[in-house]
Structure 1
């Protein structure tokens, strides 16, 4: 009886609040190029939020700094200077670079080596890296030679320096975009933004409510080459989302498909039926790294790893001419109430 009395009062209060919001709040957006792709920011303009020009300048300053520190596509970046240095080198690095190495170390240890930040020579060898000479299957001798220059265990942090005891090269592409999203979200919060959808090269994070009172929603794209189709729609509040897949970056030779996702332990592209995997985590950086790791592990080992570690992940596996989808327990619990099929 009491709830029946309170219910219309609450509904009226919410309606009044929303009516006020519609006049004072609105969604604004901006974006641009970054990391060989694009970024986009949507946010709710409300009292206390800095002007858009300031938000954009702050965002692009973060992206420019990450590019200068971590890009493997520019010779003057700090990480490329480190990559060119010989074995036995130590180089002073900013906090961001060291934070990413530590994040990579954690994933490397958790997965017994299936996640590795030193794959750049292998990516180049197969034609997927910044110095690749064209996509082709290398001979066994060349593959064995390049594998000697791979291994995250050869990296060490010594104070504010990054050191290497072998001729390894670091590639942050598996976690840098997620890291960028987290930094942007933090900075926008300092500038008054509380409701946002931040995306960089496909990695994204959202929190808060839109002016109509609804959550931000995103669609998980079906792994198809011919068209973009939303396979599942999720509403987000405080989670980062990362999807890894092999359906856009691959080559075929003698009827065999070779994915850009490499197995660090074999030095070869993965060979399984997992087409794509999406991970949700409060840290977009960690979601970014985990989606890569699960893509390497494949549908069975990846699902087992995700369940064992309580990871919210959604797997899309090839089955004949179509696809089969499966979410982990944590994923289904996280999105059961608010998502749409």
Structure 2
């Protein structure tokens, strides 16, 4: 199951009394929902739903670490020195993962699954616990993009590495579904898949799709911080507000720094990234979450990333947006839906 941690919950702000087709369902251990504006040329809603679920089914068959027959699970079961043919979708995500790993000096890594299992957050975990040093060193030796190589359409590994695409596959699914909706003649839609969101066009009344960025509060569960309008953008949030365990008075997040093999220990509670690509938004939000409030903010500025950071400050939270975020959404301050 994808660890969806929407510390800043993305709440859709609906129009009233407008004709918008809606459907939803389960996917990737979570859920998806689609809204779109139909036209005379739009296919029957049942066909649209079937097309969407076909894409989601294909991606689940490739990337789910929770099913033994998926492409990634079969690769993960292979020993060191083995190779396996992988589909085009997986090749694309591997290439982008390699790019993010290189740009972040290893803060992003698709081979982090052994560490997730060791710390109790993966599909083969044995319960939440702090591992001993020898176990940590053993699993850390299996982590790193340097252990992978492509040989034509085959992916090879020189150690028993294991892949986990949860840090980007939902964002990629948003892209794939959006492309299919556009191909079906749908010009205005809002796609949400396990918390990843993409909005295109406008609602029938001419207003854009809008979402609210919500922030945890010491007095209330969440409070609305900003509302932003989406047209041609995807939104991804990474955070550690919910998925963690405590041992010996120490809090251990599900977010790992692959460089040290341990959960992150900084004040960044969550970060939201807005980008035309769902894949890029999803991957970048993970990178920034691992890097933390200072190193992550510097990375976002350097790479012109539109990002919105939420940091812990005592029992409260404070927000900080990058210049790119402010330029895309100027003057859209705290708003009540």
Q: Structure 1-normalised TM-score?
A: 0.91
Alignment of 1:87-236 (within 5 A): 87-223=80-216, 227-236=221-230
> Which residue in the other structure is 1:304 paired with?
298
CA RMSD in angstroms, aligned pairs only = 1.6
> Which residue in the other structure is 1:273 paired with?
267
The CA deviation at 1:227 is 3.0
The CA deviation at 1:228 is 4.3
Summarize the Cα distance change of 1:228–1:53 in structure 2 as closer, same or farther, 3 Å threshold.
farther
| Contact 1:156 1:164 (C-alpha < 8 Å) held by counterparts | yes
Summarize the Cα distance change of 1:306–1:150 in structure 2 as closer, same or farther, 3 Å threshold.
same
**Partners in 2 of 1:70 and 1:157 — Cα distance?**
17
| Contact 1:242 1:278 (C-alpha < 8 Å) held by counterparts | yes
Higher helix share: 1
SS in 2 for 1:26: coil
- Pick aligned residue for 1:249 from 237, 243, 247: 243
Alignment of 1:54-65 (within 5 A): 54-65=47-58
> Which residue in the other structure is 1:7 paired with?
none
Listed one character per residue, the Cα deviations across residues 154-194 of structure 1 (whole Å, up to 9, x for unaligned) are 11122211111111000000000000000000001111111
- Pick aligned residue for 1:35 from 8, 28, 32: 28
Q: Structure 2-normalised TM-score?
A: 0.92
> Which residue in the other structure is 1:51 paired with?
44
Gaps of 5+ in 1: 1-21
SS in 1 for 2:300: helix
Query: Is 1:261 aligned to residue 283 of structure 2?
Result: no
The CA deviation at 1:338 is 5.4
SS in 1 for 2:216: coil
Gaps of 5+ in 2: 1-15
- Pick aligned residue for 1:66 from 42, 56, 59: 59
Listed one character per residue, the Cα deviations across residues 57-107 of structure 1 (whole Å, up to 9, x for unaligned) are 011001100111110000000110000001111111110011110110111
Q: How many residues align?
A: 319
Structure number, greater radius of gyration: 1
**Partners in 2 of 1:157 and 1:183 — Cα distance?**
23
**Partners in 2 of 1:161 and 1:339 — Cα distance?**
49
Summarize the Cα distance change of 1:37–1:224 in structure 2 as closer, same or farther, 3 Å threshold.
farther
The CA deviation at 1:296 is 0.2
| Contact 1:235 1:339 (C-alpha < 8 Å) held by counterparts | no
> Which residue in the other structure is 2:10 paired with?
none
| Contact 1:223 1:245 (C-alpha < 8 Å) held by counterparts | no
**Partners in 2 of 1:255 and 1:187 — Cα distance?**
48
Q: Which has the higher contact order (CA 8 A, sep 6+)?
A: 2
Listed one character per residue, the Cα deviations across residues 104-140 of structure 1 (whole Å, up to 9, x for unaligned) are 0111111111100000000000000000000111111
SS in 2 for 1:222: strand
**Partners in 2 of 1:249 and 1:221 — Cα distance?**
18
Summarize the Cα distance change of 1:230–1:37 in structure 2 as closer, same or farther, 3 Å threshold.
farther
Segments of 4+ moved more than 6 angstroms: none
The CA deviation at 1:229 is 3.7
